Amino acid sequence: MFFLIVLYLRIEIKQSLNRAKAMIKRRILPFLFLLSLLLVFTQCNYSHLKFEGLTIDGPMEPFLQQLEKKGFKRQQGVDDMAYLKGSFAGKDSCNLFVLRNVERDLIYRVVVALPPKDTWEELESDFKYMRAQLVKTYGAPKYETEEYDGLENITKNETKMLLLNEGKCRYTATWEVDGGTIYLEISHIRANGRNCVRVLYYDKVNDVVAEN
């Protein structure tokens, strides 16, 4: 399962022209950003996104402990991403990834990958099932997309599968809800050539903080 973990790893390469600029970028600018962010959100009514009833906020370890109580089993992860397996929305053997900003020990995103499928029919069935489950909780999605890199009137499932494997298919639904964004997609996993349906939970506040 290590290839799944590699899929979600983020590799950041930062270069500095000199020590003074590096210090400004590393120390002063993040401080000013967080200060401005705090001023904005203290004037707004906001909440954090939840996953399985758990708030996507705070340190990693307490969040993982709560997931374990819900039946998820920890697997081998990395510093900035925990990896678990378990059942989600009635689907067994799902892979669950919890992303965090290591420097702040702040979780900001949860990704659920349903078991890989070999045919378009199976993938579309999983997508429609998860869409229906999400609609029960969040209502109709704000955006829905079915695109095949400019091609129109694609009706053959074999063709859709081929385009998905080539990275030319976008089959998605997006919910903008209190606390963040939920993104549903049929996804091609380049690391091993498999395909699955994924559900991504982005916390509105922490996703911004973690990426800056």
Q: Which of 149, 93, 163, 161 is nearest to 123 (CA)?
A: 161
Question: Is this model's pTM higher than 0.85 or not?
Answer: no
H runs (alpha helix) in the chain: 2-8, 19-23, 29-42, 60-69, 120-138, 157-165, 204-210
- Condensed to tens digits (0 to 9), the pLDDT of residues 90-104 reads 999 999 999 999 999
Write the burial class of residue 17 (CB in 10 Å: 0-12 exposed, 13-18 middle, 19+ buried). exposed
Residue 202: name the closest of 174, 167, 168 by CA: 174
The predicted-structure confidence for 38-62, as pLDDT tens digits, reads as follows 544 444 556 899 999 999 999 999 9
Locate all alpha helices (DSSP H) within 139-156, ordered by sequence: none
